[in-house]
Structure 1
Amino acid sequence: MNATADAIARPAISLAGRLRIVLRLAAMLLLLLVCVPLYYVWRVMRLHNPWPRIFLGGIARIAGARVTITGAPSRKGAFLLSNHVSWLDIPVISGASGSAFVAHSGLADVGLLKWLCEMNDTVFVARHERRSVHAQVEQVRAALTDTGALTVFPEGTTSDGLGLLPFKSSLLSALDPPPPGIAIQPVWLDYGPDVAAMAWVGEEHGLDNFLKILARRRPIPVTVHFLAPLTAEETANRKVMATAARERILQAISATR
């Protein structure tokens, strides 16, 4: 990549922005040091463990997210199908719902990320071994409380947040058929008119997106819309499910713009 292209891909961060990055990283580290011991205390005592949700919700707040919630995840448990804009989606959704996540198995190769993900009951899925997904999801589901949730990003990648990419029904194979008693619930993350400034798209490196958001001066308003769960007819199979969930989110987008 030439110098001009590199400058475009890696925009300069001001001195004030760098200071905000340092302060926010320090706050995140402090939060981690507080939450991890408490997580293990609760785990040893076999109590409902709120600390992953507290930690991730705190990460979202420190990063600048100001979260508004409409609706709620099903109290009997829900698989949430959400649009995907940035790494910030994960702490925002977890803070709002206590959700665990389905993640690509490549994250399990990164020691620190794997450790943090496992504390939040992340299901690691190898895309070439989809036959094992359902069993893995069932293992996580058994560990969730009756207000728990597991989130999948059916777009398969991040988008600019202005619309929706096609939903990949193959990513919903673990939900076909849906586990008994578990709602399949679309979620729309709405970052408002400033979404393009923080979305992770194009050739931008994940670290660059992370630092760009931490360097922001202005807060990031985000509304988490928990939409109506899919009906039995809309969960007939994974292709129908993907189409119905995407349409439900598109209708919510259209209703507010």
Structure 2
Amino acid sequence: MSPIRVAVRGASALAVVALAAATLPAILLLTPAGRGRLLRFFARALLAAIGVRHALRGRLPRQGALIVANHVSWLDVVVLLAYAPARLLAKREVRSWPVVGALAAAAGTVFVDRFRPRALPGIVADVTAALRAGGVVAVFPEGTTWCGRTGGRFRPAMFQAAIDAGVPVAPVTLRFRLAGGAQTTVAAFIGDDTLLASLRRVLSARDLHVTAQAHPALHPCPGASRRTLARAAQSVVQGPAVSRSWTVDGPVAPASIDDRDTPELLTAA
């Protein structure tokens, strides 16, 4: 793709972010439903600005559910927000990012301190309360990003929130493809990769398409094992891909941005 077109995409993305920042005071005053609609508008505007096509197959829940998805890229968050009025979990560092941190906080993001594992039960309690109140919370149980060719083990902690709140788990598979249907690692954000390098690849990609495949919900019974629920959701999300062909345009090693494994601190179900 020509440098001019890449520059136009980058400028368009900055314009969308600037507009979102300008509306931040209004976002804080909106009802949760109004906030969700506005965030959906900005998510779709950003995807259009950077030339990423997207589609949803199936239905995502609108209330009282825990969405769980595979984690490949920073684009995952944008795609989910384009379709679901969801609160998200994010690492604490995101809160200090210029503009993005303020927008994330306004959207009701639950921030996780990766260096304070003892805080995990409190975070699970916060998610449980949000689910009981009828909210939708989206998490990436792998705990970090993978290239898409392979995936990580689903950590069970947040599944306890769905069990305690008595709400379904909605598994979602995110797939990244180029023209012709070949799956691609161009958007992967792993290992020593930088956000700038990942953004540059996305802006330069031709016909990058992200599909969010919403699978049938899993309904845990009271007293269910969060580990069993996590394994079931992982099996659904990481099931056989529709296409086995790949293009390797980005990092592919099954490494992570942060490979610290948060200890399991909750008592066994």
Give TM-score, length-normalised by structure 1.
Answer: 0.79
What CA RMSD, in Å, does the superposition of the two structures yield over aligned residues?
A: 2.8
Question: Which amino acid in structure 2 is aligned with residue 136 of structure 1?
Answer: D
* Cα distance in 2 for residues equivalent to 1:29 and 1:210: 14
2:99 alignment partner, SS class? helix
The answer as to 2:34 corresponding to 1:48 is yes
Q: Per-residue displacement from partner, 1:117-141 (whole Å, max 9, x unpaired)?
A: 1121101122411121123214544
* Cα distance in 1 for residues equivalent to 2:48 and 2:64: 25
The answer as to 2:224 corresponding to 1:239 is no
Question: Which amino acid in structure 1 is aligned with residue 226 of structure 2?
Answer: R
Q: Per-residue displacement from partner, 1:195-222 (whole Å, max 9, x unpaired)?
A: 2122112321123212321233x23211
The equivalences for 1:31-70 within 5 A come to 31-32=19-20, 35-36=23-24, 38-40=26-28, 42-43=30-31, 48-49=34-35, 50-70=37-57
Question: Which amino acid in structure 1 is aligned with residue 120 of structure 2?
Answer: R
Q: Per-residue displacement from partner, 1:98-148 (whole Å, max 9, x unpaired)?
A: 2221112222233533211112110112241112112321454467xx5x5
* Cα distance in 2 for residues equivalent to 1:16 and 1:242: 45
Q: For residue 198 of structure 2, what is the aligned residue in structure 1?
A: 209
The equivalences for 1:1-257 within 5 A come to 15-16=3-4, 18-32=6-20, 35-36=23-24, 38-40=26-28, 42-43=30-31, 48-49=34-35, 50-127=37-114, 128=117, 129-141=119-131, 148-170=135-157, 172=158, 174-175=160-161, 177-180=163-166, 182-192=167-177, 193-216=182-205, 218-232=206-220, 236-251=224-239, 253-254=240-241, 257=244
Larger % of helix: which? 1
1:186/1:245 contact within 8 Å kept: yes
Which is further off, 20-29 or 218-227?
Answer: 20-29
* Cα distance in 1 for residues equivalent to 2:33 and 2:142: 35
In the TM superposition, residue 231 of structure 1 has moved relative to its aligned partner by: 3.4
1:71/1:226 contact within 8 Å kept: yes
1:82/1:152 contact within 8 Å kept: yes
In the TM superposition, residue 155 of structure 1 has moved relative to its aligned partner by: 1.0
Q: Per-residue displacement from partner, 1:9-50 (whole Å, max 9, x unpaired)?
A: xxxx9733652354233432354256435535535xx87332
2:229 alignment partner, SS class? helix
2:67/2:136 contact within 8 Å kept: yes
1:191 alignment partner, SS class? strand
Gaps of 5+ in 2: 245-269
2:228 alignment partner, SS class? helix
In the TM superposition, residue 173 of structure 1 has moved relative to its aligned partner by: 5.6
2:71 alignment partner, SS class? coil
* Cα distance in 2 for residues equivalent to 1:138 and 1:48: 22
How many residues were matched structurally? 236
In the TM superposition, residue 176 of structure 1 has moved relative to its aligned partner by: 6.0
Q: Flag the 1:138–1:69 CA change in 2: closer, same or farther, 3 A.
A: same
* Cα distance in 1 for residues equivalent to 2:207 and 2:85: 22
Q: For residue 9 of structure 1, what is the aligned residue in structure 2?
A: none
